[in-house]
Amino acid sequence: MKFALRVLAVVVILFIAAGLVFYFNPLWVADQQVRLQLWRAGVQSKYVDIGGYRIHYFEALPAQGTAGTPLLLVHGLGARGEDWSAMIPALAAKGFHVYAPDLLGYGRSPRPDVSYSIAMQETVVVQFMQAVHLARADVGGWSMGGWVSMKLALDHPEMVDRLVVYDSAGIYFPATFGAELFVPIDAAGVQKLMSILSPHPRALPEFVKKAVLRKFGQNGWVIGRSLAAMLTGRDLLDFRLHAMRPPTLIVWGAQDELIPLQAGKKIHELIPHSVLNVVEGCGHLAPLECSKPVVEGTVDFLRAEPPMQGGERVFSGRMLAP
């Protein structure tokens, strides 16, 4: 009886300790869960030295460790490689050798005192590809990462086989929000950001909102500097997209309130040979929240022979991973 009581006491203590860890560090706990899921799916967490910086990235090989088709995924503003967690294993299962780096200033990569411009992040991606010996690859970019990826395809078409952009920035559109949206300073600001990113925002507990605000307090300066560089307009691509050479797929959440579908249609118009996939019921987080139709459309495009040319398809979005 005494032994059973001791075991029960230990279990209770561990349960309380776990609860306290989650209460005070909910984002850290959530990160560990995502990383565990990726690890169980065979996704490796790695680092590579480029330009004097130790850049973190995820790498996933197809089943049986076959070579696969190289596919580089570039995340968006304030994001990191983990944001591709719903797509990396699914794409690897379809025969792709997936790389998902944390851009400089984001995720587990360093945060030096630099400009964080689109041009600078493009250089980071070029150097990353060189460091992991990727002479060419299919490239996918989400939001700010789509801007970086389109610029890469324009400046270095020899490095990009096919291009996919998801709810991408990179051209001018009239914004209905200010830069402060991306670095909230109170709980209301966090909820507003969530509501704009997703048509189905989750109601976050107050202790989670506080953790989010602490994180923005630590890393928000990188987001602010990235935004400042983007708002100069120096790297906008409106007058360059007509020269895009790689086959291009544009994927957009129909309910995106951050970068509206009209911007996706404009990119589609500016890249004459591009294909547009519209995912109904999804917003700016379509690659995460509606990954099943997003993966389906991406794989169809990347595997098509000859490459798809022009046209628009509509997918029914489901808030489920593949």
pLDDT per residue over 46-76, tens digit each? 999 998 999 999 999 997 767 899 999 999 9
Which CATH number covers residue 69? 3.40.50.1820
Instruction: Based on the fold, state whether residues 2 and 89 are members of the same structural domain.
Output: no
266 domain residue, yes or no: yes
270 domain residue, yes or no: yes
Number of domains the chain contains: 2
What percent of the chain lies above the pLDDT cut of 90? Answer: 80
Instruction: Based on the fold, state whether residues 2 and 138 are members of the same structural domain.
Output: no
pLDDT at residue 114, rounded to an integer: 97
- For residue 268, the number of C-alpha atoms closer than 13 Å in the C-beta half-sphere is 20
Say whether pLDDT at 214 is over 80.
Answer: yes
Instruction: Based on the fold, state whether residues 73 and 12 are members of the same structural domain.
Output: no
Residue 6 — pLDDT band, cuts 50, 70, 90?
Answer: low
Instruction: Based on the fold, state whether residues 26 and 51 are members of the same structural domain.
Output: no
pLDDT per residue over 247-303, tens digit each? 999 999 999 999 999 999 999 999 999 999 999 999 999 999 999 999 999 999 999
Instruction: Based on the fold, state whether residues 20 and 85 are members of the same structural domain.
Output: no
Say whether pLDDT at 321 is over 90.
Answer: no
303 domain residue, yes or no: yes
pTM of this structure: 0.93
162 domain residue, yes or no: yes
Instruction: Based on the fold, state whether residues 154 and 271 are members of the same structural domain.
Output: yes
Instruction: Based on the fold, state whether residues 125 and 228 are members of the same structural domain.
Output: yes
Instruction: Based on the fold, state whether residues 247 and 269 are members of the same structural domain.
Output: yes
pLDDT per residue over 82-139, tens digit each? 999 999 999 999 999 999 999 999 999 999 999 999 999 999 999 999 999 999 999 9
274 domain residue, yes or no: yes
Instruction: Based on the fold, state whether residues 33 and 124 are members of the same structural domain.
Output: no
321 domain residue, yes or no: no
278 domain residue, yes or no: yes
Q: What does the H/E/C string look like for the chain?
A: CHHHHHHHHHHHHHHHHHHHHHHHCHHHHHHHHHHHHHHHCCCEEEEEEECCEEEEEEEECCHHHCCCEEEEEECCCCCCHHHHCCCHHHHHHCCEEEEEECCCCCCCCCCCCCCCCHHHHHHHHHHHHHHCCCCCEEEEEECHHHHHHHHHHHHCHHHEEEEEEECCCCCCCCCCCCHHHHCCCCHHHHHHHHHHHCCCCCCCCHHHHHHHHHHHHHHHHHHHHHHHHHHCCCCCCCCCHHHCCCCEEEEEECCCCCCCHHHHHHHHHHCCCCEEEEEECCCCCHHHHCHHHHHHHHHHHHHCCCCCCCCEEEEECCCCCC
Residue-range definition of the domain harbouring residue 29 = 1-40
Instruction: Based on the fold, state whether residues 23 and 105 are members of the same structural domain.
Output: no
Instruction: Based on the fold, state whether residues 216 and 157 are members of the same structural domain.
Output: yes
Instruction: Based on the fold, state whether residues 34 and 68 are members of the same structural domain.
Output: no
pLDDT at residue 207, rounded to an integer: 86
